[in-house]
Chain A
Amino acid sequence: MIDLENVTKAYSTGNHALNGVSLHIDKGEFVFIVGDSGSGKSTLIKLLLKELEPTSGTIKVNGINLNKMKQRSVPKYRRKIGVVFQDFRLLKDRNVYENIAFAQRVVITPTKNIRKNVPAMLSLVGLAEKYKSYPKQLSGGEQQRVALARALVNKPNILLADEPTGNLDPKNSKEIMKLLETINERGTTVVVVTHNQEIVDQMKKRVIAMHRGVIISDERKAGYIQHAN
């Protein structure tokens, strides 16, 4: 499903955000990518979203070689990948329903289908009652649920979550993780970038630890890996 082969990403400053990273994530897996800031986690997400190009190495997602992908094919590719961020990135001037419908409109879904899909997604994330609320009227946890519903409404087969609990309290963090687990059980591959040690330890999933642009450990059913500085 996701294959990285000896991927290096160097910025124009000469810094190596990723240095010869190789990894393989299977279909339906739940993977944590951990590491402190500057370890290359976010760069990895950006490369998977084709926001950045690798300096060298090959990235394959859903069997497609991203290096060879033409720019005009990028939108179609991204529709198969859901993404959530630490800061939720909701549209503040639109209510919950419109925020989720927006993702469907972007991929030109008929209105009839949008009216069916959005309430279903809201039920999944437990916000069916709050479809008229605006982001500022919601708690952080609720906002992240909306972001999750938006990421999932187009039925992606991969969900990338960049620090999804970074702005949440422990209770809300747990709920979001539970939701991610449910989504994973339904067949979506989930990749979570985080440095929330407690969550990682509780979930007992595959954990890939990164440090200074290299993978320092990759273990299944592991806890948060403390790496040497």
Chain B
Amino acid sequence: MTSEKLGTYNMRISTIGYCLKQGLKNIWRNKMFSLASIATMSICIFLFGLFFCVVQNFRYMVEEVESGVSVSVFFDEEVSYDQAAMDEIGEKIRAREEVEEAKFVSAEETWESYKYIYFAEAPQLADGFANDNPLAKQAHYEIYLKDVEGQSTLVEYLESMEGIRRVNKSVEVAEILTSFNLLVGYVSVAIIILLLCVSVFLISNTVTIGIAVRKEEIAIMKLIGATNSFVKAPFVVEGLLIGIIGAAIPLSLLYLLYTKLVGYMGGQFDNLTGLVQFLPIDAMFRTLLPVGLALGVGIGFFGSYLTIRKHLRV
């Protein structure tokens, strides 16, 4: 590296250092406003994180439930005794894109599981049907869907198929899940937008006050020959730092709370574990951490940058 290049490099390093220091000083000088900004930002990102956790967990639970939502298809009487015809129907069903899995349940298997449920108390009663399966026409396919939303299309298709007697479906569950999922999505987007606006407004206010306090200094800087970016940089740094701190605090808090909550729920409601499945902390924070930090940095940067553009005509 030539000495000239080295010089330029050193200059940049010292300028970055200077801007960082000034940004920190700005925060320190406007302690109360900076604290207010960090606090509000923290609350916003905490609420966002909380909402994010709820939405993610809900999605996770919906996915779990979805994987259990099935459609049962029963055959016409003549088809019920023709394995080849049932297999052919099975192939057609599996070829559908909505279908995750189509499981063939024979008449014997159906009777076995029926027996297990209804004659559990008195198995000797079921023995009476040993050679005459009362559910001989109940061979069927249990179809598991990739997505609940695809159910109605699939049911329509199945009902139009030849050799199908009856299609059992859980429309209500599917529809409720789909609409609730959508509602959660809309509400979360609305809340996030609102919080973003509040945070940007607050950062903007803090930076505006910082500019007002340093009006004289800025005027002197301009007279001495400071470039626009040199004048602006400490304010952007101030916004960025507020953003980063305002994101780090709630994210750490959420991490602690989430770990505690999942542990507590797991311990207290053992019997619920089959029904309520929490997304593991690692999986949750793999997304929440970068999203939360990006949000903080983004709000900090844009909040301060837009304010500087408005108030600092340098």
Contacts and interface: CB of A to CB of B under 8 A. Distances in A.
Interface of A: 49, 51, 72, 75-79, 83, 89, 91, 93, 102-103, 105-112, 150, 154
Nearest to B216: A89
Interface string B221-238: 111111110100000000
A78 B14 CA distance: 22
B225 A112 contact: no
A110 B227 contact: no
Q: When A and B form their complex, which 10 residue pairs have the shortest distance between CB atoms, in order from nearest? A: A79-B225, A78-B225, A106-B226, A75-B225, A75-B227, A111-B14, A106-B224, A110-B10, A103-B224, A110-B11
Given A75-B227, A78-B223, A108 B217 contact: no
A138 to B, nearest CB: 17
Contacts of A103: 224
Interface residues of B, number: 21
Interface centre among B11, B15, B217, B225 (most CB of A within 10 A): B225
A76 B225 contact: yes
Interface in B1-44: 7, 10-12, 14-15, 18, 29
A75 B226 CA distance: 6
- The dominant DSSP class at the B interface is helix
A150 to B, nearest CB: 8
Given A91-B217, A91-B220, A105 B18 contact: yes
Given A78-B222, A83-B223, A108-B14, 13 more contacts: A78-B225, A102-B220, A105-B18, A106-B224, A106-B225, A106-B226, A107-B224, A108-B12, A110-B10, A110-B11, A111-B10, A111-B14, A112-B10
B230 A106 contact: yes
Nearest to A85: B223
B229 to A, nearest CB: 10
A73 to B, nearest CB: 10
B258 to A, nearest CB: 43
A23 to B, nearest CB: 22
Nearest to B314: A75
B105 to A, nearest CB: 77
27 contacts: A49-B223, A72-B228, A75-B222, A75-B225, A75-B227, A76-B225, A77-B225, A78-B222, A78-B224, A79-B224, A89-B219, A91-B216, A91-B217, A93-B29, A102-B224, A105-B14, A105-B18, A106-B225, A107-B224, A108-B11, A108-B14, A108-B15, A109-B11, A110-B7, A110-B10, A110-B11, A112-B10
A72 B14 CA distance: 23
Contacts of B18: 105
Contacts of A111: 10, 14
Nearest to A83: B223
Nearest to B12: A108
A66 to B, nearest CB: 14
Contacts of A89: 216, 219-220
B230 A108 contact: yes
B228 A75 contact: yes
A69 B219 CA distance: 20
Nearest to B29: A93
A57 to B, nearest CB: 23
A78 B222 CA distance: 8
Interface string B137-176: 0000000000000000000000000000000000000000
A78 B227 CA distance: 10
Nearest to A89: B220
A69 to B, nearest CB: 13
A206 to B, nearest CB: 25
B128 to A, nearest CB: 97
A74 to B, nearest CB: 8
A91 B29 CA distance: 14
Nearest to A82: B224
Interface centre among B217, B221, B223 (most CB of A within 10 A): B223
A92 to B, nearest CB: 9
Nearest to B214: A91
A64 to B, nearest CB: 14
A162 to B, nearest CB: 11
A107 B219 CA distance: 15
A210 B187 CA distance: 70
Contacts of A102: 220, 224
Nearest to A87: B216
A49 B223 CA distance: 8
B224 A154 contact: yes
B76 to A, nearest CB: 82
A100 to B, nearest CB: 11
B225 A107 contact: yes
Nearest to A78: B225
